[in-house]
A = this chain, B = another copy of it.
Amino acid sequence: MLHMKVWQTGFDPRQSIYEQIVQRFHRSLVSGELSGADRIPSIRDLAVSLGVNTNTIQRAYQEMERSGLIYSKRGMGFFIVEEEQVIEKVKQEVVSQAVVRFLSEMRSLGFDDAKIFEELKNHMKGGGDQDGSANG
């Protein structure tokens, strides 16, 4: 997996870059682009291709290592863990987080379940893909 799909270089200035990088890995995992035991780009390579400081990538990898998603082999680089259950847990967390956050936000705005579905349908019809690369 040396040549990951090239990521957009644009980062949202409202969130730290390293967090956004972690999120991108999470999404690649959920979407199936990445899977167990894959090697991920070296810190230097990814820093260059994203145009950010190596420290930033290091911080992102450090976070993923702490959460048990990746591990490093000295001199070999970083790898996704092999255990399927760990990967599965991360996937579910990512999805669940998105859904829960959305639901609690809509409810705090006074929307009940029916209205939430209605609002969603409206946006699905008209809006279409915003940035989503619906690689299902």
Contacts and interface: CB of A to CB of B under 8 A. Distances in A.
A13 B108 CA distance: 19
Contact of A133 (B31, B74, B98, B108): B108
Interface string A30-61: 11100000000000000000000000000000
Nearest to A15: B14
Contact of A98 (B30, B89, B102): B102
One complex includes copies of this chain to the number of 4
A134 B93 CA distance: 7
A3 interface: no
Given A98-B102, A102-B102, A129-B100, A134 B120 contact: no
Given A98-B109, A106-B98, A116-B120, A132 B93 contact: yes
Interface string A59-100: 000000010000110100000000000000100111111111
A115 B136 CA distance: 10
A103 interface: yes
12 contacts: A27-B109, A30-B110, A96-B129, A96-B135, A97-B132, A99-B132, A100-B131, A100-B134, A101-B102, A103-B132, A107-B132, A112-B134
